[in-house]
Amino acid sequence: MMQTLLESKTMQAALEYLKEDDARTLKEHLELVAIPAPSNHEELRAKDMLRRFTELGLEDVHMDEVGNVLGTVKGKLGSPVVMLAGHLDTVFPASVDLTPKIIDGIVHAPGITDDTRALAELLTIVRAIKETGITPIGDLVFCANVGEEGLGDLRGVKHIFGKKNNIDAFISIDNPKIGAVVNKGIGSYRYRFNFIARGGHSFSDFGQPSAIHALGIAIAKIAQFKVPQFPKTTYNVGVVEGGTSVNTIAAKASFRLDIRSDSQEELKRFSSLAIEAAQEAVEEENRLRPHEDKAKVIVEQIGDRPSGTQPDDCLIVNIASAAIMAMGLKAEVRPSSSTDANVPISLGIPAITVGCGGRSGGSHTEQEWFDPKDAYKGPQKNLLMVMAMVGMDGVQEAMMPKFKS
């Protein structure tokens, strides 16, 4: 089936088009990377994508309530509905210089691969479909979404899947390996534990409960948690803040905890354990230094990325792998990671994260680089993949069924 689609005249023309469009795609890629888009402040880059989607003649182009940019290539039957996405945001604050520098053919710019490359691939794929007259059977929705990185907390896709929708499959282009297929989402819950006490002078107020002492007892308890190996579950206290001076009993202290797991149950279980540990720590501190002004703890959730798994041989993985192999590339079903696909996976909607073209390194650092040599192979593979899922009029039926919840 994949072979029929690949060898069809229209698909061959589209693949050839993508190769010829490579230089233009790189030009757009460099334009996009220079537009700052820190998580929660993606407006400039979003507006730019909105303009490009409109100019390409996508249908129903719009920016939704949270800033995701969407546009559709309508299919003959309008079903199934497959969404192909790349995220707008980067981990870099607006102050970072984003001007791309090309040295020996390698492009250096923060965010050049993660995930600006995906945005450029969306554009060239739309052009290839329009220019070669491909008619899909189902609808293909292109999405440049906000809020994938840490501080974004997947808010873009959470919004899309949090309301009524008719999406039958979701594919995010967000992996540096061209043959990558990620079908499991590591979830994470993140918390800030805020310890509060009255505080005072270290000598004259000695005996008052201390926010820092209570925090120390809590971390000592959490550090002894035993986690299961399967489903892999981890935790980390990554940031500690608090106190004002060495001779002040601290009135305020806080730490941030990250819990990760493939399993939603384990995320919940370790969250409860950590909250209990913090409450016990405060009680211990109040017992050690009994005083009418008691120490207390306020727990604030600062991150919620749902987790979920799909079998390695489920339909969406098989279609993706078949498309990768049909293009002469090596398919690699990769270990779980935390991406936009987490959200649909957690809801049972078929979803994967796949690779882009080119070679790259230095993700999430200001030294991030991208080698555009043969990068067109990424959009070629991704076009074949989504057309297999959504079907191509007169050539191949949609391989992805309608999702039934």
The residues that touch Zn ion, with contacts defined as CB under 5 A, are: 114-115, 174
Question: In whole angstroms, how close is the CB of 146 to Zn ion at the nearest point?
Answer: 12
Q: Which is nearer to Zn ion, 118 or 253 (CB)?
A: 118
Question: In whole angstroms, how close is the CB of 114 to Zn ion at the nearest point?
Answer: 4
How many whole angstroms separate alpha carbon 304 and alpha carbon 132? 42
Q: What are the residues whose beta carbons fall under 8 Å from the beta carbon of 36, sequence distance 6 or more? A: 44, 45, 90, 92, 94, 96, 98
Question: In whole angstroms, how close is the CB of 113 to Zn ion at the nearest point?
Answer: 8
Question: In whole angstroms, how close is the CB of 119 to Zn ion at the nearest point?
Answer: 11
Q: Which is nearer to Zn ion, 110 or 200 (CB)?
A: 110
Burial of 65 (0-12, 13-18, 19+ CB in 10 A): exposed
Question: In whole angstroms, how close is the CB of 354 to Zn ion at the nearest point?
Answer: 12
> For residues 182 and 336, is the Cβ–Cβ distance under 8 A?
yes
Q: Which is nearer to Zn ion, 15 or 125 (CB)?
A: 125
Question: Residue 32: what are its φ and ψ, rounded to 5°?
Answer: -70, -40
Q: Which is nearer to Zn ion, 356 or 389 (CB)?
A: 356
Question: Residue 76: what are its φ and ψ, rounded to 5°?
Answer: -60, -40
Q: Which is nearer to Zn ion, 85 or 295 (CB)?
A: 85
Which residue's structure tokens are 């993140």? 190
Which residue's structure tokens are 């076009």? 383
Q: Strand, helix or coil at 48?
A: helix
Q: How far is CA 146 from CA 105, 155, 199, 258, in A?
A: 30, 7, 41, 22
Q: Which is nearer to Zn ion, 242 or 362 (CB)?
A: 362
Give the residue from 51, 21, 49 showing the smallest Cα distance to 33: 49
Question: In whole angstroms, how close is the CB of 381 to Zn ion at the nearest point?
Answer: 18
Question: In whole angstroms, how close is the CB of 273 to Zn ion at the nearest point?
Answer: 30
Question: In whole angstroms, how close is the CB of 340 to Zn ion at the nearest point?
Answer: 8
Half-sphere exposure of 259 (CA within 13 A, CB side): 28
Q: Which is nearer to Zn ion, 154 or 196 (CB)?
A: 154
What type of residue sits at position 63? Answer: M
What type of residue sits at position 108? Answer: H
What type of residue sits at position 232? Answer: K
> For residues 223 and 277, is the Cβ–Cβ distance under 8 A?
no
Which tokens sit at 382? 């991704």
Q: Strand, helix or coil at 385?
A: helix
Q: Which is nearer to Zn ion, 133 or 361 (CB)?
A: 361
Question: In whole angstroms, how close is the CB of 149 to Zn ion at the nearest point?
Answer: 7
How many whole angstroms separate alpha carbon 320 and alpha carbon 379? 13
Q: Which is nearer to Zn ion, 36 or 200 (CB)?
A: 36
Q: Which is nearer to Zn ion, 21 or 115 (CB)?
A: 115
How many whole angstroms separate alpha carbon 316 and alpha carbon 352? 7
Half-sphere exposure of 288 (CA within 13 A, CB side): 14
Question: In whole angstroms, how close is the CB of 151 to Zn ion at the nearest point?
Answer: 13
